[in-house]
Amino acid sequence: MNEPPATERLNEALLDTVRRAGDGTLPPARERIARERLALALTRPAAPTPFRLALVAFAALALLVPLLRSRQLTYEIRDASVAPEKGYVRPASSAPATIDFSDGTSVRVLADSTVRIAQADLFGAALVQEGGSALYSVRRRAASSWRVAAGPYVIKVTGTRFLVRWTPASREFSTDLLEGTVVIEGPGAPGGVQLFAGQRLRANPSGQITIEPLSTPPDTRPPLASAAPSLSVAPSIPAEPAASSPQAPAPPPAHSGTPRAASPEPRPVGRAPGQELGALLDGIELEGAEAFAARSSAAVVMEAADAARLGRRAALARSLFAALRSRHPGSREAAVAAFLLGRELDERSPGQAIALYRAYLAETGGGPFAQEARGRLLAAVARASGPEAARPLAEEYLARHPSGAHAPLARALLGAHGE
Amino acid sequence: MKALQSGQQEALLAIWDRHATLVRGLLRRSLGPWGDVEDLVQEVFLAFHRSAHDLRDPAMLRAYLVGITTRKAISELRRRRVRSFLRITEDGVLPEAEDPGVVEDDGPEALRRLYQLLEGCSAADRMAFVLRHVEGLQLEEVARALGVSVATAKRQLGRVHARVVALARRDPVLSGYVTTEEGIS
């Protein structure tokens, strides 16, 4: 059951070189860190598989749909003396009708007026005032969008109270803004005109717009009759006290004053495997990397930094590498820290990374990371200062490492300059 | 094994103690000895931890780990190939970071050239070659690790071996390492 006999093969000397180079043993300290890292990973919940993710998404959707449905805007019509047609509210001449929306918004449709509910969804409603007068009290909500169309005019509403009059026959339009702000678009204001509380916008049949102050500003809380005396609906629209107004800001939640940062993130406690290393790193974090480096040998700081790096605690690893360089200058570990710190900063701070790679190469004159340091230096300089600046580095890289990982980049840089 | 299947972490750590070197070595010899494979070693053992209940015969533990490691290595080789295809562009986009390895700077040229040559093979072929000729696994073991039939593994090995030898013969350095029945060619 063997493959066909080969007359030629690679000799054992080469294959032995591969076996030796790819030896799987680690120095004891690194092996211990790797084992601790596995133990630490076992204490964490497993990363969700695609199947689990799909399951979670499905469950979330199943919960979300009823929630969205519950937040869907619904409405009821009160006091309509005649049964409304679908979407239409047309009070009889004797009394107004009220549309109560589930989000707290209400629309008072006055006698002999017509309002059509064109759309009502999660985010608000679009109403068409086909004629007559109506008072709108729109509840302010995040991301809500209300529109009221009256003839050629459209009122964009966030949260406010306003009275709209529209007479189709004479094409006269007016809006009295009692609270908040609205933007009105229409003939004479194609880009929209903003109206503030206490103002009235009038538009005549030719589309000419005038804005004037209401005779009694809304913050004096007048009865509606004083703002629109001809409507005679004041008794049915009480002026709400500020505290109970739907527009009044909600009181802050009871815990809103507690800053999150004040309570440190709880860490798991117990004797689970892997916590020894985690606890060590926690301790260094509390003590501060500089203080830890000041009282520890360079080798110990390097080991801790390595553990932080392999344990995906990048910020702590960076602090430890920096502390290693400041507290143990001239040591072999400090030189290696320059390279590793440079690599950590490669993406976010190429200038610093370049300086650190240069420092590593200057301090060691070679060493196990020299090839990668030269390659990364070359790439960082090309990125930060352009191909021209990187050209000498590319030449040096190719001379030293013709088949290195960055050789294609070096050749590309030299090739781009006519070589 | 029962302890592991019941979720005891100490059992996995005991397996780590016995087999981490094997897994790490196989990864390094498959992917090349220059990169850091620690993340992959961790992933192999975590994958093993998740799927340990599938292992019925404790005697097959080593082969089972070799299988997981092989699949992980193939997946990593494919990922690297896609990334290397995308990364070097005229605007100087940086190559992907490679972690430091154990091999000293400018290691044996023949070793570099051999891995360079293996880059031209498919991930599965490359793994077949490494498992058979570097790891010294039997054909049946190679097939099991690759998750293919013995016949398929046999074809795969024949193909990749012929390709590697042919390319090595044309390489000025590697040609000195191609031997025939009579000796060095």
Q: Give the integer Cα–Cα distance in Å for B16 and B174.
A: 36
The tally of domains found in chain A comes to 2
Kindly report, residue by residue over A268-282, the tens digit of the pLDDT.
333 334 445 677 777
Same domain membership, residue B180 and residue B112: yes
Q: Are B79 and B135 members of one domain?
A: no
Number of domain units in chain B: 2
Highest mean pLDDT among A79-88, A173-182, A195-204, B148-157: B148-157
Dist CA A379 CA B139 (whole Å): 43
**Distance from the B10 Cα atom to the nearest Cα atom in chain A, whole angstroms:** 8
Interface test with A, best of B12, B15, B17, B29 (most A CBs within 10 A): B29
- Name the residue facing A1 among B16, B111, B140 (closest C-beta): B140
Mean pLDDT for A379-396 is 89
**Average model confidence (pLDDT) for chain A?**
76
How far is B169 from chain A, CA to nearest CA, in Å? 9
- DSSP class of residue A404 equals S
Task: Look at B46 and A41 and tell me if their CB atoms are within 8 Å.
Answer: yes
Mean local confidence (pLDDT), A256-268: 32
For residue A19, tell me if it sits in a domain: no
In this prediction, the answer to ipTM > 0.85 reads no
Distance CA A353, CA B48 (A): 38
**Parallel, antiparallel or unpaired: strands A160-167 and A146-150:** unpaired
Query: Is A257 inside a domain boundary?
Result: no
User: DSSP class of residue B132?
Assistant: I
Strands A124-138 and A146-150, sheet pairing:
parallel
C-alpha to C-alpha distance for A388 and A344, rounded to whole angstroms: 25
Query: Which of B10, B45, B90 comes nearest A412 by C-beta?
Result: B90
Residues of A in contact with B112 (CB under 8 A): 403
One domain for residues B132 and B65: no
pLDDT of residue B3: 64
Assess whether B10 and B97 both reside in one domain: yes
Give the CATH number for residue B129.
1.10.10.10
State the Cα–Cα distance between residues A28 and A25, nearest whole angstrom.
9
Q: Which residue of B has its CA nearest to A44?
A: B46
Domain check: are A212 and A290 in the same one?
no
**Integer angstrom CA distances of residue B94 from A344, A361, A406, B119:** 14, 20, 9, 20
pLDDT at A81: 54
Q: How confident is the model at residue B64 (pLDDT cuts 50, 70, 90)?
A: very high
B134 and B79 within one domain:
no
State the nearest Cα–Cα gap between B59 and chain A, in angstroms: 22
What is the enclosing helix (H) or strand (E) of A78? strand A75-78
Provide the pLDDT for residue B4. 65
C-alpha to C-alpha distance for B106 and A405, rounded to whole angstroms: 12
Which residues face A150 on adjacent strands?
A153
**8 Å CB contact of A46 and B50:** yes
Q: What is the CATH number of the domain that holds B38?
A: 1.10.1740.10
Q: Which domain holds residue A167?
A: 73-224
- Chain B residues within an 8 Å CB radius of A366: 105
Task: Report the distance separating Cα A342 and Cα B49, nearest Å.
Answer: 35
A383–B88 C-beta distance less than 8 A: no
Residues B125 and B86 in one domain: no
Phi-psi region at A239: left, alpha or beta (left = phi > 0; alpha = psi -120 to 50): beta
Q: End-to-end CA distance of chain A, in Å?
A: 53
Enter the tokens of residue A147: 């529109």
Q: Is A8 on the interface with B (CB under 8 A)?
A: yes
Final residue in a domain of this structure, among B103, B130, B145: B103
Residue-number span of the structural domain to which B27 is assigned: 1-103
